[in-house]
Structure 1
Amino acid sequence: MADIDALIKKYFVQPDDTVPPSEPMPATFSGCQITPLIDGTTYFDELKTQFAGVGTGTPSENANQFIYIAGWHLHLMGGKILPAPGSSGTYLPTVDLEKPFSLDGPGAAATLIDLLKKKAKAGVDVRVLGWASFAVMADNFVQTKAVQNGLGSIRDVNLATLASILELRTEPALAEKAWVNILTHSAGAAHTKLVIVGKGDSAVGYTGGLDFAGDRHGSQPHPAGQWHDVQAKVEGPVVQAMHDFFRDMWNEVRGRNVRTLRMGFTNIASHTPGSPALGPRPLSTTTVAKHRVQSLRTLPQFNYTSTNRLPENDKISFAPAGLFEIRTAWINAIKAAERYIYIEDQQFWSIELMKALREGVTTKPELKVLLVTGLRDPADPKYPPYTLVALTQGLLKGLTPPQRAQVAMFSRNVVVHSKTTIVDDHWAIIGSANFARRSLYTDIEHSVAFLDEDDEKDTALVRQYRVKLWSDAFRLDPADQQKIIDINKALNVWNTSWGTPGSGVTLPSSVTPVALPTAEKKLSDKEQETYDLFSDVDSKTPWGACSV
């Protein structure tokens, strides 16, 4: 048996790692079970099963059942989204986005929006918090040229979500339970992809990178250009923290003044302030497995310059100094790493996290750092230079040739949208937070970090998660996955100078090495302005832009 207390002390955030109030000791739970769900089809099939288990009785029988959703991109209605009057550009969704979203796959007849209406009508407490920017969408995106240039990529996401919220409200049982999450920083987002489903004191939670949008239906083996992502199924006592996070956000929105947002020529109220508060719900503390879990959040601070002329927001009452728990957990695990750090992400933008990786490389000659990315998310802005800045000013700066050889980066021929890190086959994190500054300090995020009490077994949680995730990249059939259980043989597949040969697995052509830059990249004044004001905002820093 592994010494779980030693693992917790080494990899989990401990009291000495914290800096209250913004970086407190995160909620930590034993007796939990984490099931990584790799790719959208796996996750959506799982949700179908969970949703099928509620709302099957009479309204009175269903009264203590619930479905809570906090989403960044709710493209439930499908179709083209009308650009806001006065804005430039058009929205041209892919085929997968043209029809309403269904858990069954693109274009399937059973839509999620009809399913949520049906469950609500049957008496299930269905609540939806979909994000739209109060600062952008309140004025139909006609704020300033700077805002249009800096935040244009989120306009269509917000319009799709507002269309979904508006349609959900046509069901009387959802009229006061489909709200816009308006708690964000002026240039931030409510980026969580959180779902909680339950009956009475029993609940299951989900957190990760997957939105309810038609192009998220990926499955193995991936054809080129398909979506690749990860969501975590969360069971056991830790679900209480996820439920309470949703409840805190819901009640905080309820207590705010209504914001009016616009979709085309339609005004949409953000929420219904007179509706009843979401009350506490004690969930079961029964042990379901041997996984230890930390529930982690990012919530912003609200610092504005005296010259700011754009809409501002108030502090969040349950986190007035912000919460940077994900940042603390990430930094701590990176510092603890000894054998390898594997990071799969769409945005390698954080100079701070890259510097933490560099410290590990320079002090631990055996440590390997493996970064994996992929094709650009179509919803993202044109690929900016921020990764080059983070790599050259953070991870690679000052490394000797042998130290640079401890680092490798690869690109897959799919859209890598997952936000996950694995360290030493012991610790892992799955959630909505990207490897970017805004995910550490500005956007509303949720992630779970986890260990396994049965850590020494080949079937241990983190080791098996790594095997399945790398098998997806290596295009291995289930029968061949055992070939990469040994970490030394698995690392050798990525880089033949690492580890030990003998797995019989080779890197497929769908995974290509990325040449690490040698010259330091610096941002131009215009790029730096866009980075600080819009792309990768730091809520600890006073923020503001002029309206002219």
Structure 2
Amino acid sequence: MADIDALMKKYFVQPDDTVPPSEPLPLTFGGCRVTPLIDGTTYFDDLKAQLATVGLGTPSENANQFIYIAGWHLHLMGGKILPAPGSSGTYLPTVELEKPFSLDGPAAAARMIDLLKAKARAGVDVRILGWVSFALMADNFVQTKAVKHGLGWIRDINIATLASIQELRTEPALAEKAWVNILTHPAGAAHTKLVLVGSGGGAVGYTGGLDFVGDRHGSQPHPAQQWHDVQAKVEGPAVQAMHDYFRDMWNEVRGRAVKPLRLAFTNLDSHTPGSLPLAARTLPTTPVGRHHVQSLRTLPQFNFKSFNQLPPNDKISFAPAGLFEVRSAWMKAIKAADRYIYVEDQSFWSIELMGRLRDAIKAKPDLKVLLVVGVADPTDPAYPPYGLVALTQGLLKGLTPAQRAQVSMFSRDVIVHSKTTLVDDHWAIVGSANFARRSLYTDIEHSVAVLDEDDTLVRQYRVGLWSDAFRLPPADQQKIADIDKALNVWNASWGTPGSGVTLPSGVTPVVLPTSEKTLTGKEQERYDLFADVDSRTAWGACSS
């Protein structure tokens, strides 16, 4: 059994690490059980089983049950996306996106949108908060400007979500419960992928990188170009914080003025004003496991220049100074690392976080830093130079050759969309927040950090993640249980040989740059205005 108090003091955010009001002490819970669900098929199967437990009684019995979803991209309807008049182009989906989304797999017959409607008709409290940019989707003029500045991909995602919300509202039980999350910074997003399923007897929360989109059904062993992701299943007292976060956002939207959003030739109202607020709910606190959890949020500040082509937004009443809890957690754990830091992400853009990794390397000569990326996410714009800037100005700047040898970076031949970091086989974080500035300060995010009283969870999670990368069948996965042998698989100069495991051809080393990359004036403007926004600074999208 581990000394959990010592682990919490070392790796979890403590009162001395906080800078209120933006970085308060995150809510911390014991008695939890966290299950990292690696890849979409694993998550969707688990969620399907959980959804099957609610809505089975009479309407009055089901009324105490709930399904709450806060998503970034809801492509529940499938099919082509038809932009509004005045904008250009169409979104031509892959085969997996042509059919409505199903938890059973790409193009399967059991549509999730029908499942949600059925649960609502049965009396379950089903509520959907899908993100749509109020700034870009307000009218045709703004959409045209967005396309001109390379933001057409956001428009396409938003149209898919609006079409899903419109269809959900055709079910009378959902007519006032499928809303748009309009709380964001004008250049930010509600990036959470939060799902809660529960009843009076308990609740389960899910948080991570997986949206309800048809091409997210990845599974091991991955063929090239398939989606790889992680969602954390949370049980026990920490689900209360996840529930309350959804409730806070829902009631905040309820109190805002309606924003009409353009969908084809019509406007769709963001939400239903005057509806009843989502009431407080006390979930059971009975311990279900030996895991300790910090529930972590990012919410933006709102600071604006005097003129903007995109409209500003109001402060969030329950977090007027913003909340940067994800940042606090990452900074604390990276500084605490002794043996290794493993980061799997799609956007290594944060110079600040990369600089924290550099400081840790300089302080601890035995520390190893391992970064893993994948091929480009097809829903993202063309890969910009921001990752190279963060690498050279943040991580590598000033390192000696010996210190550079403490860093290895690899690219997989799959779409690495997971947002997860592991430290020392003790601490891990899973959530929606990327290793990027906007996830620290601007987008609406949620992640969970976890420690284990038995100190086995993170090692088991690492074995699962690295077995996915190494293409190891279950019978061979214990070959990398020892961290020194496992590190040696990644880098022959690290750790101890003898695992018998070698890197597959789909995992290739990334040659670290030797010269510093700087952004051009135009690149810096785009970075600050749109790509990786910092809500703490005065913002104004004034480009023509």
Q: Normalising by structure 1, report the TM-score.
A: 0.98
Which residue does 1:93 correspond to in 2?
93
Verify the 8 A CA contact 2:136 2:310 in the aligned structure 1: no
Residue 147 of structure 1 and its aligned partner are, at CA, apart by 6.6
User: What are the Cα deviations for residues 59-88 of structure 1, in whole angstroms up to 9, with x where unaligned?
Assistant: 112110100000000000000000222222
* 1:72–1:189 Cα contact (<8 Å) kept: yes
1:546 CA drift (Å):
2.4
Q: Is the 8 A contact 2:436 2:532 kept in 1?
A: yes
5 Å matches for 1:468-479?
468-479=464-475
State the match for 1:396 in structure 2.
396
Of the three residues 500, 507, 518, the one matched with 1:522 is 518
Within a 5 Å distance, the mapping from 1:240-251 to structure 2 comes to 240-251=240-251
Whole-Å separation in 2 of the counterparts to 1:428 and 1:538: 25
Alpha-carbon shift at residue 276 of structure 1 (Å): 0.4
- Give me the whole-angstrom Cα distance separating, in 2, the residues matched to 1:23 and 1:3: 26
Equivalent residue runs for 1:40-55 within 5 Å:
40-55=40-55
Give the match's secondary structure for 1:93: coil
CA 1:77/1:98 → structure 2, altered by over 3 Å: closer, same or farther?
same
Partner of 1:255: 255
Which has the larger displacement, 204-213 or 49-58?
Answer: 49-58
Q: Which residue of 2 aligns with 1:4?
A: 4
In the alignment, the residues of structure 2 paired with residue 514 and residue 42 of structure 1 have an alpha-carbon distance, to the nearest angstrom, of 29
- For structure 1, list consecutive stretches of 5 or more residues without a partner in the other structure: none
Look up the match of 1:504.
500
CA contact (8 A) 2:137 2:143 kept: no
Equivalent position amino acid for 2:241 in 1: A
Map 1:385-424; keep pairs closer than 5 Å. 385-424=385-424
Contact 1:299 1:444 survives alignment (8 Å): yes
- Is residue 68 of structure 1 aligned with residue 64 of structure 2? no
In the alignment, is the contact (CA less than 8 A) between 1:346 and 1:418 conserved in 2? yes
Indicate if the aligned counterparts of 1:252 and 1:317 stay in contact, CA closer than 8 A. Answer: yes
- 1:146, 1:62 → 2: CA distance? 43
For residue 142 of structure 1, report the CA deviation from its aligned partner: 3.0
Asked whether the equivalents of residues 62 and 124 of structure 1 are also in contact (C-alpha less than 8 Å), the reply is yes
Q: Within 5 A, what are the aligned runs for 1:22-33?
A: 22-33=22-33
Shift in Å, 1:148: 3.6
Q: Could you tell me how far apart the structure 2 residues matched to 1:385 and 1:490 are? A: 31
Q: Which stretch shows the higher mean deviation, 360-369 or 149-158?
A: 149-158
Q: How many residues align?
A: 544
Letter in 1 for 2:262: R
Structure 1, residues 382-413: CA drift from partner, whole Å, max 9, x if none?
A: 00000000000000001111111000000000
**Mapped partners of 2:439, 2:426: distance in 1:** 23
Task: State the partner residue of 1:224.
Answer: 224
**8 Å Cα contact 2:528/2:534 also seen in 1:** yes
Match 1:489 to one of 479, 485, 488: 485
Partner-residue secondary structure (3-state), 2:126: strand
Residue 465 (str. 1) matches residue 472 (str. 2): no
- Root-mean-square deviation over aligned CA pairs: 1.0
Q: What does 1:98-117 correspond to in 2, within 5 Å?
A: 98-117=98-117
- Provide the C-alpha distance between the structure 1 equivalents of 2:436 and 2:154, rounded to a whole number of angstroms: 17
Q: Is 1:75–1:161's contact at 8 Å kept on the other side of the alignment?
A: yes
Q: Percent identity?
A: 81
1:226–1:414: 8 Å Cα contact kept in structure 2?
A: yes
Alignment of 1:327-476 (within 5 A): 327-455=327-455, 460-476=456-472
Q: Which residues in structure 2 correspond to 1:286-365 (within 5 Å)?
A: 286-365=286-365
| Whole-Å separation in 2 of the counterparts to 1:144 and 1:19 | 41
Output the amino acid matched with 1:46: D
Judging changes above 3 Å, is the alpha-carbon distance between structure 1 residues 362 and 547 closer, same or farther for their aligned structure 2 residues? closer
Q: Distance in 2 between matches of 1:145 and 1:69?
A: 30
Paired AA for residue 128 in structure 1: I
Equivalent pair of 2:86/2:143 in contact (CA under 8 Å): no
Residue 137 of structure 1 aligns to a residue whose secondary structure is coil
Distance 2:227 2:402 in 1: 35
Q: Is the 8 A contact 2:66 2:197 kept in 1?
A: yes
Any idea what the Cα deviations from partners look like across 1:311-351, whole Å, max 9, x if unmatched? 11000000000000000000000000010000000000000
CA–CA distance in structure 1, aligned partners of residues 162 and 140 of structure 2? 12
Any conservation in 2 of the 1:412–1:473 contact (CA below 8 Å)?
yes
Could you tell which deviates more after superposition, 384-393 or 84-93? 84-93
Residues 25 and 147 of structure 1, relative CA distance in 2, 3 Å threshold: farther
Distance 1:146 1:204, change over 3 A: closer
Q: Secondary structure at the match of 1:534?
A: helix
- Provide, for residues 129-181 of structure 1, a one-character-per-residue CA deviation record: whole Å limited to 9, x for no partner: 00000000011363564674142221111000000000000000000000000
Q: Is the 8 A contact 1:201 1:282 kept in 2?
A: no
- Given that 2:136 and 2:146 are in contact with CA atoms closer than 8 Å, whether structure 1 keeps it comes out as no
Offset at residue 105 of structure 1 (A): 0.4
CA contact (8 A) 1:150 1:534 kept: no
Change (3 A) 1:141 1:65: farther
Cα separation, partners in 2 of 1:141 and 1:79, compared to 1, 3 Å: farther
The equivalences for 1:171-186 within 5 A come to 171-186=171-186
Q: What's the CA shift for 1:310?
A: 2.0
AA aligned opposite 1:87: S
Q: Give how far 1:511 is off.
A: 0.3
Query: Deviations 1:9-34 (Å, cap 9, x if unpaired)?
Result: 00000000000000000000000000
Contact 1:343-1:370 at 8 Å conserved across structures = yes
**Contact preservation (8 Å) 1:169, 1:176:** yes
Matching residue's letter, 2:288: V
Match of 2:59, SS? coil
- Cα distance change of structure 1 residues 103 and 141 upon mapping to structure 2, 3 Å threshold: farther
Q: Deviations over 1:255-277 (max 9, x none)?
A: 00000001111100000011100
Contact 1:142 / 1:148 at 8 angstroms: preserved in 2?
A: no
Stretches (4+) displaced over 4 A: none
The Cα offsets for residues 338-385 of structure 1, whole Å up to 9 and x where unpaired, read as 100000000000000000000011111000000000010001010000
State how far apart, in whole Å, the 1-side matches of 2:516 and 2:94 are.
37
Shift of 1:41: 0.2
Secondary structure of the corresponding residue to residue 366 of structure 2: coil
Partner of 1:382, secondary structure, is: coil
Question: Which residue number corresponds to residue 207 of structure 1?
Answer: 207
Which of 513, 532, 541 aligns to 1:545? It is: 541
Distance 1:482 1:547 in 2: 55
SS in 2 for 1:216: coil
TM-score (norm 2): 0.99
CA contact (8 A) 1:140 1:264 kept: no
- Judging changes above 3 Å, is the alpha-carbon distance between structure 1 residues 368 and 547 closer, same or farther for their aligned structure 2 residues? closer
> What stretches of structure 2 of length at least 5 have no aligned partner?
none
In 2, the alpha carbon distance for the partners of 1:490 and 1:317 equals: 47
User: Structure 2 CA distance, aligned partners of 1:149 and 1:307?
Assistant: 18
Instruction: Please state whether the residue corresponding to 1:296 is helix, strand or coil.
Output: strand
Amino acid at match of 1:14: Q
